[in-house]
Amino acid sequence: MYYNNRDIRLEEMPKPQIGSGEVLIRVEACGICGSDVMEWYRLAKAPLVQGHEIAGEIVEVGQGVERWKNGDRVFAYHHVPCNTCHYCVRGHHTVCDTFRNTHFDPGGFAEYVRVPAINVDRGLYPLLEDISFEEATFIEPLACAVRGQRLARMKTGDSVLIIGSGIVGLLQVQLARVMGASHIVATDLVDNRLEAGEKFGADAVIHGKQDVPALFRKINDGRLADLVVVCTGVLPAIEQGLESVERGGTILFFAPTEPGGKVSIRVNDLLFNEITVTSSYSGSREDARIALDLIQTRRVRVREMITHRFGLAETGEGFKLVAEPKDSIKVIIEPQK
């Protein structure tokens, strides 16, 4: 039960009771997302059970459920769209009102979760035996990266700058490599994350305090980046990203700022250089299917990203690591341990 980033309590709750069209999942693994430790975002709803990157085994099936059975290994998506509203029919499933109001009961940091009927209908994915539960927890964050690069119209041969080498930045690095980027450069302020950037496919890494645009030019034949992906909400990093986009290029905002965060943009720089500014939130069903395939075929390596694993009673320790990222990359909670 989440009260704040420093107050995570182990509490007893009744096992969720499922209804028609629903399933009960025994949670085997749940990743801690960076959004889980955004206090300004979470405190308004606290206390609550968080956790949305879940994988586990179906142990109960409600009346009317035909596709799934007890014993099925699955990944579950916590947000699903209506597929019929103005936003969905225009391809913006992740801003659908239904998408933003669908959730698990109570949340992934629990031994069991009830999956509502609408999520069962369009948010469950079968897992092959050769993909572990902890690997499957990466489907949701990788789907977000897939959507981001798709909306940014990433192309083969693009040079890419990833600002921020936390877990989502490292997934962006690997995905850019899969998509055929010509040069991939990653930045961060933490040394072990720079090392991880190189390990997971960046051609070069740059400390965020350095002159990133100038150093990128040296690496990229005198040009700035065709695509800049800003994976941090720190305002100086966003400003740095805006200074790092080549003519005709795109900057993708991929992380929220603190509430009310603003940066100044010189409109003429965008206008005369035909720079596209775009953003991406979450991932759709199709993005998740692509992410699952990338993980199952090992084209995106995720197991090596896991630095820490904790049992349910140690979830608070995991939150501390994610909230103050120094030694961690990905932290996984295993509720059955």
pLDDT, tens digit (0-9, with 9 covering 90-100), for 244-256: 999 999 999 999 9
Q: What are the backbone dihedrals phi and psi of residue 30, each rounded to the nearest 5 degrees, phi first?
A: -150, 125
Confidence band for 10, pLDDT divided at 50, 70 and 90: very high
The reply to whether 147 falls in a domain is no
Tell me: pLDDT of 48 over 80.
Answer: yes
pTM: 0.95
Same domain, 157 and 239: yes
Whether residues 229 and 206 share a domain: the answer is yes
324: confidence class by pLDDT, cuts 50, 70, 90: confident
**What integer pLDDT is reported at residue 187 of this predicted model?**
98
Q: In whole angstroms, give the CA distance from residue 236 to residue 244.
A: 12
- Domain co-membership, 6 together with 101: yes
Please state the rounded mean pLDDT for residues 56-61: 98
- Decide which of 244, 263, 279 is a domain's last residue: 279
Residues 159 and 69 in one domain: no
Q: What are phi and psi of 54, to 5 degrees?
A: -110, 150
The confidence score (pLDDT) of residue 37 equals 93
**Residue that wins the pLDDT comparison between 326 and 176:** 176
**Is 324 among the domain residues?**
yes
Considering the domain architecture, whether residues 291 and 180 belong to the same structural domain is answered as no
Does the pLDDT at position 79 exceed 80? yes
Rounded to whole angstroms, how far apart are CA atoms 113 and 78? Answer: 11
Residues forming beta bridges with residue 245, ordered by sequence position: 225
Q: In which region does residue 199 sit, left (phi positive, over 0), alpha (psi from -120 to 50) or beta (all else)? A: alpha
Q: Can you give the pLDDT at residue 44?
A: 87
Over residues 269-321, the pLDDT tens digits come to 999 999 999 999 999 999 999 999 999 999 999 999 999 999 999 999 999 99
Q: What is the CATH number of the domain that holds 323?
A: 3.90.180.10
Residues 88 and 197 in one domain: no
Containing structural domain, residue 34: 2-141+283-334
Q: What percent of the chain has pLDDT over 90?
A: 98
> Is 238 in the same domain as 189?
yes
Please choose, from the candidates 276, 162, 166, the residue with its C-alpha nearest in 3D space to the C-alpha of residue 228.
Answer: 162
What's the confidence (pLDDT) of residue 326?
79
Mean pLDDT of 135-152: 98
In a domain, 146, yes or no: no
Domain-located, residue 252: yes
Determine how β-strand 7-8 pairs with β-strand 2-4.
Answer: antiparallel
In a domain, 22, yes or no: yes
| Same domain (yes/no): 29, 59 | yes
Same domain, 134 and 161: no
Structural domain count, the chain: 2
CA distance 190 to 206: 11
pLDDT in tens, 227-248: 999 999 999 999 999 999 999 9
Instruction: Decide if 202 is inside a domain.
Output: yes
Provide the pLDDT confidence category of residue 262 given band limits of 50, 70 and 90: very high
In a shared domain, residues 85 and 170: no
Does residue 112 share a domain with residue 181?
A: no
Average pLDDT over the chain reads 96
In a domain, 148, yes or no: no
Q: Which H or E element spans position 140? A: helix 139-151
Whole-number pLDDT of residue 325: 76
Same domain, 218 and 309: no
Is residue 108 situated within a structural domain?
yes
